[in-house]
Amino acid sequence: MNPPLPDPSRSNPAPYGTAGVVAYRVGAVRDAFGLQLGPSLILVDVGSRTILDILEIDTPPKDYPTIDYSNSVVWPAMVNAHTHLDLCACDPQPYPGSFTAWLSQVLASRGAVKAAQVTQAVAYGLDLSVNAGVGYMGDIAHTPEACMARWRFEKATGTRIVKVGLFEITGRGSRERWACQEMDRFIDENTPHIPVIGLQPHAPYSTGLGVYKHAVALANTHGLHLSTHLAETEEEIEFTRDGSGPLADLLRSVRGDDADIRATGLDPIQVLAGPLAQAHWLLAHCNYVTDENIAFLAKCGASVAYCPMAHAYFHHKPHRYRDMLDAGVNVCLGTDSIVCAPPDSQQPLSILDEMRLLYRRDGTPPDTLLQMATLHGLRALGLSEDFARIAPGCPAQLASAQFNADLDTDPFEQVLRSDVPVSPI
Ligand SMILES: [Zn+2]
């Protein structure tokens, strides 16, 4: 429900004083709670970057310095719920024809990246994201340093972005014990000083059930976020069900008998049923799910990070995100890594481009897309829903894009139809 709007007929909108207040003159306003305004003024306290008021008037009062966005529609900053900023050290790569071949390629590229380059890569990815109107992100980091790189970025640039750093770990067989110890060490060194961190056991084919169980225990004790890649490929189903296929071959080639591969007769979501039922997980992809899987995810209160452009890059079968939404699963949007981005992308890591794909391909309603891109992502990352609201008292962390006021079409729909760039406010 929307908070009551201020009275637009009020002649003197200055109960907060004018010092440190800036007025944004905007062409239209949208938010994830159904707010739809035409030309308006958004008054922002510069110090706290909080919205003070929204006035449905076109003429800025003289009292405030005014910044003109009158050709733009404005909406809350978007959430990239699943990305790998440390892979910004790599370039976009063409799809090599199979997921396993792609995985081998990425592992080789990552192995060649030095620690100092990782920090730079994360800063570069944050910069791309901020400039694409993203305000919040679930960033998977392969090292503790990459997980924490947000603070260095903010210090250097003064740009605010809320980054939930999820420390990724892999480990099967005899390496399960090591993986659990690494998670313990990460938590000892980083909590409780840093509130927005979490753990990501990589995926059911690379990481043993014991690691998942330990991650749940740690998350429930320390109030941490939990994420994993799940049901991403048909090869993953073959791996967990039959203990065979290209992923089994890849693991055996790297780890030999120690990979601890066995047929379970279960699909990946069934394999992780215990840990999934014991915490709120953010599940990346879920590209291959059954009706029973969807009902189970809804029951567990899981969130699914759907990455439409990455999904298309891998030529997966159609994603069931609309069935998941209908079943009550909290589906949000992610970009995955820059490696899967189109090489000619004007704004890599743009959540708006992910929305555009779904709008144009599937005709998904703009309101649904705006919710997936803001509110659902915030819920998935355990962040305040106020970040998806444009109202007094809410953060002035906004995105904007130009539209044509002479057209009858809804301004936000115009943005989804066009390729105009998105900018942060
Ligand atoms: Zn991923």
List the pLDDT tens digit at each of the 425 positions of the chain: 333 334 433 444 455 666 789 999 999 999 999 999 999 999 999 888 899 999 988 676 777 889 999 999 999 999 999 999 988 888 888 899 999 999 888 888 877 777 778 888 888 899 999 999 999 999 998 887 777 777 667 766 666 788 888 999 999 988 999 999 999 998 888 876 666 789 999 999 999 999 999 999 999 999 899 999 999 999 999 999 999 999 999 988 888 777 789 999 999 999 999 999 999 999 999 999 999 999 999 999 999 999 999 999 999 999 999 999 999 999 999 999 998 888 888 899 999 999 999 999 999 999 999 999 999 999 999 999 999 999 999 999 999 999 999 999 999 999 999 999 999 98
* Per-residue confidence (pLDDT) for residue 108, from 0 to 100: 83
Per the DSSP assignment, residues forming a β-bridge with 303 are 282, 330
Label residue 19 exposed, middle or buried (CB < 10 Å: 0-12, 13-18, 19+). Answer: exposed
Distance, CA of 68 to CA of 312 (rounded, Å): 37
Q: Which helix (H) or strand (E) holds 125?
A: helix 115-131
Q: Is residue 115 part of a domain?
A: yes
* Structure token digits, residue 298: 């809804």
Q: Are residues 265 and 213 in the same domain?
A: yes
CA 123 to ligand 1 center in whole angstroms:
18
CA 103 to ligand 1 center in whole angstroms:
11
Pairing of strands 134-141, 78-83: parallel
Q: Are residues 72 and 105 in the same domain?
A: no
Are residues 293 and 269 in contact, defined by beta-carbon separation less than 8 angstroms? yes
CA 83 to ligand 1 center in whole angstroms:
6
Domain hosting residue 43, numbered range: 21-76+388-424
**For 10, which DSSP code?**
-
Nearest Cα to 297, choosing from 318, 282, 311, 307?
282
187-224 burial: b if 16+ Cβ within 10 Å, else e: beebeeeeebbbbbbbbbbbbbbebbbbbbebbeeeeb
Q: Is residue 407 part of a domain?
A: yes
Q: Is residue 1 part of a domain?
A: no
CA 104 to ligand 1 center in whole angstroms:
14
Q: Is residue 237 part of a domain?
A: yes
Distance, CA of 411 to CA of 425 (rounded, Å): 17
Are residues 101 and 424 in contact, defined by beta-carbon separation less than 8 angstroms? no
The H-assigned helical ranges of 158-279 are 175-190, 209-222, 234-242, 246-255, 268-271, 273-277
Give how far Cα 292 sits from Cα of 171, 269, 288, 296, 324, Å: 28, 10, 12, 6, 11
CA 229 to ligand 1 center in whole angstroms:
6
Q: Are residues 335 and 194 in the same domain?
A: yes
CA 385 to ligand 1 center in whole angstroms:
24
* Per-residue confidence (pLDDT) for residue 304, from 0 to 100: 98
CA 139 to ligand 1 center in whole angstroms:
9
CA 55 to ligand 1 center in whole angstroms:
41
CA 333 to ligand 1 center in whole angstroms:
12
* Structure token digits, residue 88: 């910004």
Q: Is residue 87 part of a domain?
A: yes
Nearest Cα to 71, choosing from 36, 28, 22, 132?
28
Q: Is residue 155 part of a domain?
A: yes
CA 334 to ligand 1 center in whole angstroms:
9
* Per-residue confidence (pLDDT) for residue 157, from 0 to 100: 67
> Three-state SS for 64?
coil
Are residues 187 and 164 in contact, defined by beta-carbon separation less than 8 angstroms? no
CA 94 to ligand 1 center in whole angstroms:
17
Half-sphere exposure of residue 231: CA atoms within 13 angstroms, side-chain side: 25
CA 204 to ligand 1 center in whole angstroms:
13
Q: Are residues 417 and 330 in the same domain?
A: no
CA 169 to ligand 1 center in whole angstroms:
12
Q: Are residues 178 and 190 in the same domain?
A: yes
**For 328, which DSSP code?**
T
CA 344 to ligand 1 center in whole angstroms:
21
Q: Are residues 71 and 84 in the same domain?
A: no
pTM (predicted TM-score): 0.92
Q: Which helix (H) or strand (E) holds 395?
A: none
Q: Are residues 220 and 335 in the same domain?
A: yes
Q: Which helix (H) or strand (E) holds 122?
A: helix 115-131
CA 254 to ligand 1 center in whole angstroms:
21
Q: Which helix (H) or strand (E) holds 24?
A: strand 21-30
Nearest Cα to 284, choosing from 323, 215, 228?
228
CATH number, position 408: 2.30.40.10
Distance, CA of 212 to CA of 273 (rounded, Å): 11
3-state secondary structure string, 183-194? HHHHHHHHCCCC
Q: Are residues 336 and 412 in the same domain?
A: no
Q: Are residues 410 and 356 in the same domain?
A: no
Sign of CA dihedral 141, 142, 147, 150: negative
Pairing of strands 134-141, 281-285: unpaired
Q: Are residues 43 and 84 in the same domain?
A: no
Q: Is residue 8 part of a domain?
A: no
Nearest Cα to 423, choosing from 124, 137, 132?
132
CA 284 to ligand 1 center in whole angstroms:
6
* Structure token digits, residue 329: 């699963």
CA 336 to ligand 1 center in whole angstroms:
5
* Structure token digits, residue 13: 């909108």
CA 58 to ligand 1 center in whole angstroms:
44
Q: Are residues 72 and 89 in the same domain?
A: no
Measured between its terminal Cα atoms, the distance across the chain in Å is: 24
Say if residue 39 is preceded by a cis peptide, omega within 30 of 0.
Answer: no
Q: What Rg do the C-alpha atoms of the chain give, in angstroms? A: 22
Q: How many domains does the chain have?
A: 2
CA 272 to ligand 1 center in whole angstroms:
18
CA 223 to ligand 1 center in whole angstroms:
22
* Per-residue confidence (pLDDT) for residue 116, from 0 to 100: 74
Distance, CA of 283 to CA of 287 (rounded, Å): 10
Q: Are residues 316 and 236 in the same domain?
A: yes
* Per-residue confidence (pLDDT) for residue 408, from 0 to 100: 92
CA 313 to ligand 1 center in whole angstroms:
13
Distance, CA of 90 to CA of 337 (rounded, Å): 9
Distance, CA of 133 to CA of 213 (rounded, Å): 36
Q: Is residue 328 part of a domain?
A: yes
